[in-house]
Amino acid sequence: MPTLTTRLEIASWDEVPTSEPADGSKITRAAVTLAGGPDGLVGASSQSVMYYRPDGTSSYVDVMVVTADLDGRAGSFVLVGRGDYDGTTATSTSQIVPGSGTGDLAGISGTCTSESTHADYPFMPLSLTYRLA
């Protein structure tokens, strides 16, 4: 299966708290828009729910819609995943949702990983391993 390693630019990040218990933890919801580049990923938008511990580390779940042109085939697909932030590095692993591919990407399958630090900002590194139907 081919792997595309790239960086998407964080075009917008809108995060709002939904719960802030007295212990210093909080739950937030974030809407993020990512701009693509010349390597096949046109762009993406995601919705995340994040749990921040009082020490600033966090865990999160994410649903991301990706628009892409992979191997000359255009369409979109949905990634669902989870991740963690240890105070320095955010890591996540996602799966392409079966049946979510549209256009020429119908039937796509695969996984996506990301590992980023504040030094990567305003970019989000991604590694997408996929199989086209």
pLDDT in tens, the chain (133 residues): 899 999 999 999 999 999 999 999 999 999 999 998 778 899 999 999 999 999 999 999 999 999 999 999 999 999 999 999 999 999 999 999 999 999 999 999 999 999 999 999 999 999 999 999 9
**Residue 7 is part of which domain span?**
3-131
Alpha-carbon distances, residue 132 vs 21, 44, 77, 85, 105 (angstroms): 45, 19, 11, 31, 7
What pTM was computed for the model?
0.94
Q: State the total domains in the chain.
A: 1
3-state helix vs strand vs coil in the chain, percent to 5: 5, 70, 25
Q: What is the CATH number for 23? A: 2.40.350.10
Q: Which tokens is 99 given? A: 């049946």
By three-state DSSP, how is residue 20 classified?
A: coil
